[in-house]
Structure 1
Amino acid sequence: MDFDPEGLKAWLDHSYGELFARSSRTVEPIIIDVVDKIIPSNGTCHLLEVGCGSGIYIKRACDRNPNLTVTGLELQEKVADFARKNTTIWQIQDRVKIENTDIRRYRSDKQFDIETFFNLIYYFPKYERSDLLRHLGGFLNTGGQLILTTLCPANESSIQLMNLWASMTDGCGPLPHPDNVCDKLIDAGFDEIKCEQLIPAFYLFKAQKA
């Protein structure tokens, strides 16, 4: 039987949505714990969240620090609208700005103290990742932190399926190995890079703008 790459791609496209949704629900409490640890409990702080989704992590950050202000970026227009509605429901709309844009096209004179980049790096091709991280660093104050989480390759069927989908999808790329993420951060001009495995195949990276 001949291998049909288009048939495999169609099957992956059909399957990945539920798989990614399950993955997101699995790591949500872990990322909430990350937010609690990286956001100071008081004092002025400016946060940039890339790929803010529903805004659930923005809400957690705002609950933690009453002086926090946030810019959330969301690629999908409907999701950005949903996040804006949520900020109104949560009564944090005066402290939060949601923008419907691709991070690669985002431009701002505002500098941030913390940037979060949760579970997104595999949505970008490998050859773009150093430039993307360098672009992110351009919005940080000196000494500001980039907080990145990602799945990494593992000998587990669901992770292997996600890696296969990301590898075969136009505009995306394979799940990165932890050492490769550290190398990309160094290439992008970050220092004091720390890597921590939170659960099997799921890693947290902290990097400081030099």
Structure 2
Amino acid sequence: MAASVLEMAGIESTGLLAKSRLDFSLNLQGDFKDVEDRKHRAVYETLADSDQKLQYYSARQIGCRLLGSRGYLCQKCWLPMEDCMCSKLAPCNLWRGIRFWLYMHPKDFLRQNNTGKLLWQVFGIQAASLCLFGIQEHEDIMWDAFQRSGKAKVSFLYPNKSATPKSVNDLKFDDFTMNAGLQEGGVQHEPLNLVLLDGTWSNSAALYRRLKV
């Protein structure tokens, strides 16, 4: 029997559905936290589809983090306003034959010590895209890009003892040079998609399982 979306996400299989583990009121305090937690837990439990449950849980995690960071964290570098480092970063152009995808677990969204955010801060959002795990709109955009490029042009970084080590020389660039654009000789080339998994070890495993589906 195929694993459910929640099992792939490491929620059901790790007992995260237990009330003591599944937090719908992150960053909230006091009675308001309890009211919000009960309200959103009730909605969650009415959802029959595991994919809908994952999307709801992910959206709630992200919503709470956004609410808790308002007026405190810079929304670009995710550091406290007084420590904002945006003005100290020097933008850099990335070759158009490569596109980075930062596939991030919701629990790492807006985390101050997260370093993956540097990708789009340095290279720009056209070269490095954030895709949040469990957010359908984000994942649909990423899946569509993978489909256009084809399997041979999708690689992701994940430690695996059974994997065959590869270097940049193993990547396929369709014989067009690093100095060229994506269109040569009237032929439009799709970029090489490099997916970086952003999460703790256990959460990265959930991202990896979802990518393999």
> What TM-score does the superposition give when structure 2 sets the normalisation length?
0.23
Structure with more of its chain in helix, by fraction: 1
Q: Which has the higher contact order (CA 8 A, sep 6+)?
A: 2
Structure 1 or 2, whichever has the larger Rg, is 2
Structure with more of its chain in strand, by fraction: 1
> What TM-score does the superposition give when structure 1 sets the normalisation length?
0.23
